[in-house]
Amino acid sequence: MNEGESTMSVEIRIPTPLRGFTSGAAKVATSGATVGEALSELTRKYGAIQRHLFTEDGRLRNFVIVYVNDEDVRYLQREATPVKPGDVITIIPSIAGGSPGAVAYPALHRSPAPPRTATSTVQKLSPEQMRRYSRHLILPEVGLAGQRKLLASRVLLVGTGGLGSPLALYLAAAGVGTLGLVDFDTVDASNLQRQVLFGTTDVGHPKLEAAERRIRDLNPDVKVVKHDVHLSSENALDIIARYDVVVDGTDNFPTRYLVNDACVLLKKPNVYGSIYRFEGQVSVFDASRGPCYRCLYSQPPPPGLVPSCAEGGVLGLLPGLVGTLQGVEVVKLLLGKGEPLIGRLLLVDALGTTFRELKIRKDPDCVLCGPHATQKSLVDYQEFCGLGTPTILPPELEIEPEDLKSLLDQSAPITLVDVREPGEYEICRLPGSKLIPRNSLAERLGELSTSEDVVVYCKVGGRSADAVKFLQTMGFTKVRTLKGGLDAWAQRVDPSMPTY
């Protein structure tokens, strides 16, 4: 297909996490008459993408959402949905990026918004507060009544990482009276590229303490409630019940589904954001007025299929953009003003500077918020996300860093395969290793021989264990994984190796 034809073809937009399978192409022109034909043309051209989109019996995987223009094909004719030249097919992947970790005031959304607890719990504004919030007070959509509402509001930020940072700063500055923060991490030097809530002097300190210091300095009106826990099925309902709006700034699927489910069960709005490399997604899930996250993604992708920000990287400014958009949604919900992003998924592409909006429908079969919902309580989210049983290899398929070191020192004939991404390889690597990212392994198998003694490694050993299992199925018998990955190597064998 040449350039001239592509303007009159059906274009498939490839999201960043899948571009590794399309030789980097962001758009692929096809000539199919239906969604199924167009996708088949894509998989004929790029074979490696097949298993990411389709099950073995040829059905679209349920964590792969496909849109034609701004409509979800599940509500059209699925793979049989007709397409015509000029149409755009978009593949929307689940992405989890964010940080480890309401109004629910339905009445406020209707106009005129009746006062909530605001007037009763917040006294008149002091002269200092009049001055601090003056740019809000002269804004008709906020005014004195709106500012009082903000001061009486309680917002929970799940995660104080890349997304949580701008959220905490702007919501505190705006005078949201109570900010609950969920995080149990300490500040790492690698956080500072995007987590603007923290400074260099905070490195090594608990995030919650550093965040509280910064917020108190920014606005002493704000009460910070620290939840120094890993949000879990045991504590989520108890914590979330105390807040009006919940903001999801997590970086992993188990917490994302947990936050969604708890919010649906407690009827709290969930302001969703996720980021990966240069792309982000924003929406507001409020099951009482629209779809929930499970209406969009009923199932998580299998572990390892979607890389995390730690593996895939993220532009430091992107969480600033996406987190700030989430913050705008929070303030609108609290004030009961404007049009919240309910039933709409905003796609942000920082590389192309484009914003696209897709409709999200309420899934009539949603197990959580549908009319025949079957799930009435929280579940085990590690297990739900397939993380209950990480790839565990028998000991004979693992090699300890010290043992590998002595073999290398003896110049044993070992092929070292690095299955990380090129950017990670540039930071640190074992001398003489061959870089074959995990997702390229199937295509580049020809570069390895089954008769070789192969040791595979990655950052911590997860991707390499998965690669070893794969290589075994491809007939490799002398293949092992470096236990603990380069992190263990740097700790136990070579402390001069940079870590990240």
Binding residues for Zn ion, rule: CB under 5 A, are: 292, 294-295, 366, 369
In the bound complex, what is the minimum distance in angstroms from residue 264's beta carbon to Zn ion?
7
Q: For the CB of residue 294, give the shortest distance to Zn ion in the complex, in Å.
A: 5
Of the candidates 206, 178, 195, the one whose C-alpha atom is nearest the C-alpha of residue 118 is 178
- Residue appearing with tokens 């980097």: 24
- Choosing from 309, 366, 385, 428, the catalytic residue is 309
User: Measured from the CB atom, is 9 or 260 closer to Zn ion?
Assistant: 260
CB of 292 to Zn ion, least distance (A): 3
Nearest residue to Zn ion, by Cβ distance, number only? 366
Q: How far is the CB of 62 from Zn ion (least distance, A)?
A: 14
Tell me the CA distances in angstroms from 269 to 5, 275, 327, 332, one per residue in order.
Answer: 45, 20, 13, 12
292 is catalytic: no
Pick from 442, 443, 449, 493: which is nearest to 467 by CA? 442
As measured in angstroms, the least distance from the Cβ of 384 to Zn ion is 15
CA 335 to chain CA centroid, Å, is: 27
Which of 135/376 has CB closer to Zn ion? 376
Q: At what angle do helices 485-492 and 401-409 cross, to 10 degrees?
A: 70
Where are the strands (E) in 335-413, listed by range?
344-349, 354-359, 398-399
Which CB, 295 or 322, lies closer to Zn ion?
295
Q: Cβ 376 to Zn ion, closest distance in Å? A: 13
Nearer to Zn ion, 298 or 415 (CB): 298
Q: Which helix (H) or strand (E) holds 247?
A: strand 245-248
CA angle, 240 as apex, 145 and 184 as ends, to 5°?
115
309 is catalytic: yes
Beta bridge mates, 279: 276, 349
- How far apart are the C-alpha atoms of 111 and 146, rounded to whole Å? 13
> Which residues does residue 178 pair with via DSSP β-bridges, in sequence order?
154, 223
- Shortest gap between Cβ of 370 and Zn ion (angstroms)? 6
What beta strand segments (E) does 258-329 contain? 270-276, 279-285
**Alpha carbons 483 and 489: distance in angstroms, whole number:** 9
Of 83 and 292, the one with the shorter C-beta distance to Zn ion is 292
C-beta of 363 vs 421, nearer to Zn ion: 363
Closest to Zn ion by CB, 10 or 369:
369
Q: How many CA atoms lie less than 13 Å away from 228 in the CB half-sphere?
A: 9
Say how far apart CA 401 and CA 493 lie, in whole Å: 7
Q: Can you tell me whether residue 277 is helix, strand or coil?
A: strand
Among the listed residues 263, 295, 366, 458, the single catalytic one is 458
CB of 485 to Zn ion, least distance (A): 37
Rank residues 262 and 366 by Cβ distance to Zn ion and give the closer one.
366
* Contact (Cβ atoms closer than 8 angstroms) between residue 250 and residue 224: no
> How far is CA 458 from each of CA 97, 271, 455, rounded to the nearest angstrom?
20, 34, 10
Q: Which long-range contacts link 131-137 to residues 24+ away (Cβ below 8 Å)? A: 132/175, 132/219, 132/221, 133/175, 136/174, 136/175
Secondary structure of residue 83 in the 3-state scheme: coil
Residues marked as catalytic: 309, 458
